[in-house]
């Protein structure tokens, strides 16, 4: 009898330990991707991804911890279980689906091309036609990196310089080290607004869906995705998006 009581006690303690551990959800992201994630005036991370993740965590009764890492480390970090999930303006791609599982999509991204204001080029192919090759700046491991690598570097039509943040790629453009930067449209608008002498070309490069990424064996994936679906359904997600992307 005593033995059974002891076993039950041990089991209860173990359970309590587990619940205590599960109280915090760790989200990894690269906090240099406005308006999806950036440091607000209080120096705390905010933005569309951050606020949606907070709303989901609150709905499920978790604390949310945000860890600021390189975008390239987000998928490996989720896969290895170091972080519970990643919300990083991340595009759903077939390659990534081999490595992680994605939630429902909650936003659309467009890969656009930033060039100096006085550039006469209307597309990347124009650069290649005029100069024989193009120097593209991207954020490492993003879809902008993948697509331009396939379409230009692998085809011998140019070089791709990979930076750890989109902001660093834009600095390289301002310094004349690259001809253009390929990056998601909303961050692009932010970077162009913050820096003199840049514009976004009308020709979009690719249209994509954003979703949050989880390890394939994540125990919280289903609850999390259900909560996200409810917040999409009841308009909370659109409300958050509208706060950070005011209608033009």
- Verify binding: residue 142, ligand GLN, rule CB under 6 A: yes
Q: Which is nearer to ligand GLN, 73 or 91 (CB)?
A: 91
143 binds ligand GLN (CB under 6 A): yes
Rank residues 95 and 118 by Cβ distance to ligand GLN and give the closer one. 95
109: contact with ligand GLN by CB under 6 A: yes
Please state, in angstroms and rounded to a whole number, the distance separating the CA atoms of residues 236 and 95: 30
| Min separation Cβ 153 and ligand GLN, Å | 16
Omega of the bond prior to 35 within 30 degrees of 0, cis?
Answer: yes
Scanning 51-59, 85-93, 100-108, 213-221 for contacts with ligand GLN by CB under 6 A, the matching segment is 85-93
Residue 78 CB, shortest distance to ligand GLN, in Å, is 13
Check residue 184 for interaction with ligand GLN (CB under 6 A): yes
Question: For residues 74 and 215, which CB has a smaller minimum distance to ligand GLN in the complex?
Answer: 74
Nearer to ligand GLN, 4 or 96 (CB): 96
| Residue 30 makes contact with ligand GLN by CB under 6 A | yes
Site for ligand GLN in 112-141 (CB under 6 A): 139
Which residues of 48-106 form beta strands (DSSP E)? 63-68, 85-86, 101-102
- Residue 202 CA to residue 200 CA, distance in Å, equals 7
Tokens of 15: 């359970």
The C-alpha atoms of residue 211 and residue 73 are separated, in whole angstroms, by 16
What six digits make up the tokens of 105?
């999509």
Torsion angle of the four alpha carbons 245, 105, 143, 184, in this order, in degrees rounded to the nearest 10: -10
- Residue 90 binds ligand GLN (CB under 6 A): yes
Pick the piece of the chain touching ligand GLN (CB under 6 A) from 20-28, 62-70, 84-92, 240-248.
Answer: 84-92
CA-based angle 145:110:206, to the nearest 5? 65
Determine, following the binding rule CB under 6 A, whether residue 89 of this chain makes contact with ligand GLN: yes
Stretch that binds ligand GLN, among 10-18, 89-97, 125-133, 149-157 (CB under 6 A): 89-97
Write down the residue that tokens 């289903």 correspond to: 222
Cβ atoms of 33 and 70 within 8 Å: the answer is no
Strands 101-102 and 158-163 come out as unpaired
Instruction: Pull the structure tokens for residue 159.
Output: 């070089």
Check binding of 33 to ligand GLN (CB under 6 A). Answer: yes
Give the interface with ligand GLN as residue ranges (CB under 6 A). 30, 33, 71, 88-91, 109, 139, 142-143, 166, 184
């Amino acid at each position: 009898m005593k033995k059974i009581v002891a076993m039950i006690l041990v089991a209860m303690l173990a359970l309590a330990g587990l619940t205590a551990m599960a109280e915090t959800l760790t989200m990894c992201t690269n906090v240099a991707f406005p308006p999806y994630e950036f440091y607000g005036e209080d120096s705390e991370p905010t933005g569309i991804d951050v606020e949606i993740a907070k709303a989901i965590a609150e709905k499920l009764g978790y604390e949310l911890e945000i860890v600021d890492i390189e975008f390239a480390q987000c998928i490996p970090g989720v896969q290895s279980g170091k972080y519970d999930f990643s919300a990083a303006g991340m595009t759903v791609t077939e390659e990534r689906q081999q490595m992680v599982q994605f939630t429902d999509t909650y936003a659309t991204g467009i890969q656009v091309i930033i060039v100096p204001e006085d550039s006469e080029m209307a597309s990347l192919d124009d650069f290649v036609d005029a100069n024989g090759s193009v120097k593209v700046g991207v954020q490492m491991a993003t879809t902008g990196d993948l697509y331009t690598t396939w379409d230009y570097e692998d085809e011998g039509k140019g070089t791709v310089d990979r930076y750890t943040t989109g902001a660093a790629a834009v600095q390289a453009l301002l310094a004349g080290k690259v001809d253009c930067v390929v990056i998601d449209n909303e961050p692009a608008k932010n970077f162009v607004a913050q820096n003199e002498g840049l514009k976004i070309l009308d020709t979009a490069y690719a249209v994509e869906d954003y979703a949050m990424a989880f390890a394939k064996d994540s125990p919280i994936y289903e609850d999390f995705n259900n909560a996200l679906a409810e917040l999409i359904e009841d308009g909370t997600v659109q409300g958050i998006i509208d706060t950070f992307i005011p209608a033009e």
